[in-house]
Structure 1
Amino acid sequence: MYTASIDIGTNSVLLLIVEQTELGLQVHEEVQRLPRLGAMVDSNGILARQSIDRVLEVLTEYAEIIQTYGDGVLKKTRVTATSAVRDAANKNEFLSLVKEIVGFEIQILSGEEEAKYTYLGAISQTKVESNSILVVDIGGGSTELAMGDSSQWLRGISVDMGCVRFNERYLVHNPPYQEEIGECRRSIEALLESTKLRFPPNTQVVTVSGTATSLAAIDQQLFPYQLSRINNYRLNTDKLAKSIEIFSLHTYEQLIELHPEVMQGRADVFLAGLLILEGVLRFASVEEFIVSSGGIRHGILLS
């Protein structure tokens, strides 16, 4: 039996079509588009009409793809929205437009729900055996920190720091000034300290989202992108530090020229994502992390 889910994020809109089997979710089709619904939501507090129109176009495309699997799959498609829609004053207008034009009912996830589904999705696509697992999802508007073990999710929180939000707020030049990078780092540190979270020794960190998967692809020179080589790929803080140093010196245009496969639609916000990842790893006192392609879209189908 096929099922589908769509994850509407601040920067990306992700489609997943799977087959439910005795072995779990067998991924049949995945599609990614980067319409950046949450552009300027941090400063303006609303979803711009141009951003909404871009997302409507993507959702219409996705509905056509899902339709090829049958009316039943389309009618039961789970569609979720996260930080940008959660924060927007005009969220109800967006929900109504999607329902009217595309036919989807959207579930706006709370920060805790977002963390839970992220955890379930990440673990479903990754081989991790540990009594203490921290799943980190660096989104465009927020970052989810979800804790658990190999068998279950225990708790999670959402922190209002994301790669789109912090790029717009701090990294305003192209490339950013070192002073801007320093201010961004200090804000990340302060937000993480305010959570009062503490992690046991030997906590295993699993990272999801475009920041992590793009970094894994770049580190392996994995072009074209191969999902099988992204899941369970290990990176460390030394490689992350070198990447931050390199990416902080290049303009967005140069980054797209260097890595067009992964930087299109992401070049301007990638450094902010790396800085958030750096801050979380430092906060958790962890030097190595595993990359997972799983996420909310997987977790919502497992729940």
Structure 2
Amino acid sequence: MKIVTHDGGYRLTMRLGVLDIGSTTAHLRIADLTAGHPPRPVATLKRRLRLAEAIGGDGVIGRAAIDRLTEAVSEAADVAARHRVHELVPYVTAAIRDAANRDAILTEIQAASGVRVGYMDAEQEARLTFLAVRHWFGWSAGPILLADIGGGSMELAYGDGETPDLALCLPLGAGRLTRHRLPDPERVKKRHRRSLREHVESVLAKRVGEIAARHRAGQATAVATSRTFAQLARLCGAPKAKAGPHVVRELRRADLREAIELLGERTPAERAQLPGVSAARARQILAGAIVADATMAALELEAMRICPWALREGILLDRLHHPAGHARHLYAIRDASA
């Protein structure tokens, strides 16, 4: 694609589609990429998947959820084709990546939709998310400490460059913990909340020592991404989404502790009526809040800034600045222009 500039010249623009298949939703974002400019949004599509609640004790994702998944990928591929994307990058995150029937699911998706869906290892996800955060905040942010709570895992990263010096993936996803650590998510007992907290603190104590030490020594800018952090920040008083992405949003630990009590007293249906909490994440938002609070305590953080860019934007930026793209092996087989 070529776009005529004001001086009569041309600049090259490519249209990329990124399809993020998580535990809660399948989210397609289509953007135009032009050197020297941020990604320009073209279209988005979201479809609810509810994969986290469809994973059995044996780690197998059930039939109904697989059907929802194949339908969502097929629809996303059709939308990408209508918008004439040059490349489509479809990938699954931890919920499917770690599923016992992962390979069968990916094979079925390709047979039904014509799209070969890939997956990244957790470290690669953390590095691409860090790239997006660095571009959003710029070099003036200095060292960055990043936290990203997903459905299946939590990623932590630290560094003073464009990519992190350290990147960790911890089994502390909000969906995973809800499934395994909260026996009755409809009415969570205080003892189960305490038990979950103790488990999270135990995992953090074993893994985050080096990142915590780097943060204390370098006074990093603490940043959080993901819908879980964004919804918790809104619940705790951050501006609404309609205020725009450039409004400063923070999640303060003092407010978060109060939010945990509020969430713990309500059913998922009641939580969905609270500011910022979506119905899709209401079931797992309590576990996410406990992880966020325990993580901030372990890293000695009183507040974290919320970044609107995350993994999808990291892939777009990676493709824009590196023609080969670190996620190139994820590109779809399907000819999206057909």
TM-score computed with the length of structure 1 as normaliser = 0.90
Offset, 1:121: 2.5
Please tell me the residue identity of whatever aligns with 2:256.
L
Is contact 2:33-2:316 (8 Å) kept?
no
Confirm or deny that 1:194 pairs with 2:206: yes
Offset, 1:250: 0.9
The change in CA–CA distance for 1:279 and 1:204 in structure 2 (over 3 A counts) is same
> Within 1, Cα distance between the matches of 2:102 and 2:123?
19
Is contact 1:230-1:291 (8 Å) kept?
no
Alignment correspondent of 1:23: 37
The change in CA–CA distance for 1:131 and 1:171 in structure 2 (over 3 A counts) is same
> Within 2, Cα distance between the matches of 1:31 and 1:53?
18
Alignment correspondent of 2:244: 228
Confirm or deny that 1:168 pairs with 2:179: yes
> Within 1, Cα distance between the matches of 2:79 and 2:247?
25
Please tell me the residue identity of whatever aligns with 1:13.
A
Write the deviation string for residues 238-293 of structure 1: whole angstroms up to 9, x where unpaired: 1111111111111112122345x742111110011111111111111111101112
> Within 2, Cα distance between the matches of 1:253 and 1:212?
19
Offset, 1:127: 5.4
The residue matched to 2:251 in structure 1 has which SS? strand
The change in CA–CA distance for 1:268 and 1:203 in structure 2 (over 3 A counts) is same
> Within 2, Cα distance between the matches of 1:101 and 1:252?
33
Among 279, 298, 319, the residue aligned to 1:264: 279
Offset, 1:231: 6.2
Mind listing any 5+ residue stretches in structure 1 that lack a counterpart? none
> Within 1, Cα distance between the matches of 2:55 and 2:246?
31
> Within 2, Cα distance between the matches of 1:169 and 1:227?
36
The residue matched to 2:68 in structure 1 has which SS? helix
Matches within 5 A, 1:133-144: 133-144=144-155
Offset, 1:210: 1.3
The change in CA–CA distance for 1:281 and 1:102 in structure 2 (over 3 A counts) is same
Among 48, 69, 72, the residue aligned to 1:34: 48
Alignment correspondent of 1:254: 270
Write the deviation string for residues 5-42 of structure 1: whole angstroms up to 9, x where unpaired: 01111222221111112123223333333312243547
Please tell me the residue identity of whatever aligns with 1:208.
T
Matches within 5 A, 1:1-303: 1-21=14-34, 22-41=36-55, 43-70=57-84, 72-73=85-86, 76-126=87-137, 129-149=140-160, 151-173=162-184, 174-195=186-207, 196-199=209-212, 200-201=215-216, 202-220=219-237, 225-226=241-242, 228-229=244-245, 232-259=248-275, 262-303=277-318
139-148 or 41-50, larger mean C-alpha shift: 41-50
**Aligned residues: percent identity?**
25
Mind listing any 5+ residue stretches in structure 2 that lack a counterpart? 1-13, 319-338
> Within 2, Cα distance between the matches of 1:90 and 1:294?
31
Offset, 1:125: 3.6
The change in CA–CA distance for 1:51 and 1:126 in structure 2 (over 3 A counts) is farther
The residue matched to 2:61 in structure 1 has which SS? coil
Please tell me the residue identity of whatever aligns with 1:254.
E
227-236 or 238-247, larger mean C-alpha shift: 227-236
RMSD: 2.2
Please tell me the residue identity of whatever aligns with 2:76.
Y
The change in CA–CA distance for 1:116 and 1:231 in structure 2 (over 3 A counts) is farther
Alignment correspondent of 2:333: none
> Within 1, Cα distance between the matches of 2:295 and 2:288?
11
The change in CA–CA distance for 1:208 and 1:53 in structure 2 (over 3 A counts) is same
> Within 1, Cα distance between the matches of 2:290 and 2:142?
27
Is contact 2:23-2:51 (8 Å) kept?
yes
Write the deviation string for residues 84-142 of structure 1: whole angstroms up to 9, x where unpaired: 22212211111111111112221211111111122122333445733321111101110
